[in-house]
Amino acid sequence: MTLRLIVVLVAVGAAALVTSGCGSDVPAGAVAKVGDSTIDKAEFDKWLATATQGTAQGGAAASLDPENDFEECAQSIVSQPVPQGSEKPSEADARKQCKDQYEQLKDEVMQFLIQAQWVQQEAEEQGVEVTEAEVRRSFEDQKRQAFPKERDYQEFLESSGMSEEDILFRVRLDTLQNKLTQKITEDEGKVSDEEVGDYYEENKETFAQPERRDLNVVLTKTEERAEQALEELENGSSFRAVAREFSIDEASKSQGGKLPDVAKGQQERALDEAVFSAQRGELEGPVRTQFGYYVFEVTDVTPASQQSLEEAEETIKNLLRSQKQQEALDGFIKDFREEYKDKTDCADDYVIAECSNAPKDRTETGPASGGAPQTPAPQTGAPPTPGAPPTGAPPTGAPPTGGAPPAAPPTAPAPAQP
């Protein structure tokens, strides 16, 4: 997999802005407990503050302050010019917008930290390890792609508020989840000859190719113009010259009248019947269609064909292998989420869908597959950050049909590059 490099979590707030809750089994000074491990409030505040700096860059998000009822954020929104004909939002609406953004991004930081614990604990349980050399190698590869110059990288660190240690932590998580996916699916890719044969017989038509013909064509608006074009061709003029003078089809006209690789059943019925009953090298037409009148000549014929089982075997094996791997991964993810959610207890002010003490009607903050949620991309155009897979993309070793790795930390889509 080629990793797209992306900006770390979008979130807002600072250490002093959030008060610690008292979840049922969460020790003081922590926001959550996953099994025997805790997520300290200081760690939560650090990622929240870091993400704030990397996301806001002076915009309204930079001033999200729940203690002051989002006053500065709301004023930033209402002071912005609005397009002509649009209504300026009220201060109350602006405050609500700021509060909603704050709550969403706060939840996303919690999701990242909880799912990071899930990945690390599952990797330890399954004996999956990554070396510092592997992490460093992956980091350097991604850094070279995102930041051709060291100066660009240093400027990014300064503007984002991230440290290299933060980035390496995310690279390590990515590498762990890739290896987990490989381990889960490595024994699920065995496909028997019988399975291949059965699939071929059940889907034989998908391995067939219809007859195809290459044409020279001229398309005119009227029958009279088509007759004139036909007369020119019968008198020895080339299709290129006649198409240039008479044709209204710009695509074939620009190619000297050529219309290659036409499959049976692909064209309007009248033209299709005429084309596939014509003799090679004979001028035909005019043929009336909804687009106008065609004069044409068949220049080459490729007969219909059927791939043999032997020819289709590798394609079918790859398809069935991918399906089996995806089914195994889907089953694992379902059990994985249920198991670790049961182990996860959150402080009262930090409860999200991944917590066992979440309200029963609370919706998941991430896709059912465990993949990354879609979070708003920064508007700064800043270079992306190494260390996370693209939203929705399968990790290395995942089946080609996709599926995000289990409990992938939430990420933001890559912004457009300047």
Task: Give the integer Cα–Cα distance in Å for 50 and 57.
Answer: 11
At 214 the pLDDT is 95
pLDDT value at position 62? 56
Same-domain status, 174 and 220 = no
User: Is there a cis peptide before residue 286, judged by omega within 30 degrees of 0?
Assistant: yes
Pair (135, 244) in one structural domain: no
Q: Which residues partner with 33 through β-bridges?
A: 38, 345
Whether 161 maps to a domain, the answer reads yes
Is residue 185 in a domain? yes
Per-residue confidence (pLDDT) for residue 264, from 0 to 100: 87
- Cα–Cα distance measured from residue 214 to residue 266, given in angstroms and rounded to the nearest whole number: 13
User: Is 132 a domain residue?
Assistant: yes
How far is Cα 70 from Cα 60, in angstroms, rounded to an integer? 10
Amino acid symbol at 406: P
Read off the pTM: 0.60
CA distances from 220 to 2, 110, 148 (A): 48, 65, 54
The CATH number assigned to the domain holding 275 equals 3.10.50.40
Helix (H) or strand (E) holding 261: strand 258-263
Q: Are residue 152 and residue 215 in the same domain, yes or no?
A: no
Q: Angle 11-152-102 (CA atoms, 0-180°, nearest 5)? A: 5
| Residue 333 located in a structural domain | yes
Same domain, 247 and 340: no
Phi first, then psi: what are they for 168, rounded to 5°? -65, -35
Cα dihedral 169/170/171/173 (nearest 10): 90
53 SS3 class: helix
Residues 216, 340 within the same domain? no
Number of domains in the chain: 2
Same domain? For 140 and 261 the reply is no
Q: Do 277 and 339 fall within a single domain?
A: no
**Residue 352 in contact with residue 110, Cβ under 8 Å?**
yes
CA distance 102 to 401: 35
Angle at 387 between CA 386 and CA 388, to 5 degrees: 115
Using DSSP, state whether 303 is helix, strand or coil: coil
- 24 assigned to some structural domain: yes
Residue 338 within any structural domain of the chain: yes
Between CA 300 and CA 39 the distance in angstroms is 70
pLDDT of residue 57: 52
In angstroms, the CA 109 to CA 101 distance is 12
For position 259, what pLDDT does the model report?
94
Tell whether 29 and 101 lie within a shared domain.
yes
Tokens at 155, concatenated: 């400027």
Please give the pLDDT value at position 339.
Answer: 94
Paired strand residues for 37 = 34
Determine the straight-line distance between the first and last CA of the chain, rounded to whole angstroms.
Answer: 24
pLDDT along the chain (418 residues), means of 10: 31 31 72 95 87 59 71 84 86 88 86 95 93 95 93 89 91 93 84 94 92 95 95 94 94 93 90 94 94 96 93 94 91 91 93 90 44 30 31 27 31 28
- Are 247 and 153 in the same domain? no
Query: Residue 363 domain-assigned?
Result: no
Strand bridging mode 208-209 / 212-220:
unpaired
Decide: residue 269, CB within 10 A, 0-12 exposed, 13-18 middle, 19+ buried. exposed
H/E stretch holding 212 reads strand 212-220
Amino acid 388: pLDDT = 35
d(CA 352, CA 120): 19
Specify whether 39 is located in the same domain as 166: yes
Q: How many CB atoms lie within 10 A of CB 12?
A: 28
125 and 66 in a single domain? The answer is yes
In a domain, 103, yes or no: yes
Residues 68 and 101 in one domain: yes
Asked if 394 contacts 402 with a C-beta cutoff of 8 angstroms, the reply is yes
Strand partners, 292: 289
Residue by residue, DSSP assigns 353-393 as: TTSTTS-TTPPPSS-TTS---B-PPPSS-PPPPSS-PPTTP
Residues spanned by the domain of 219: 211-303
Give the CATH number for residue 84.
1.10.4030
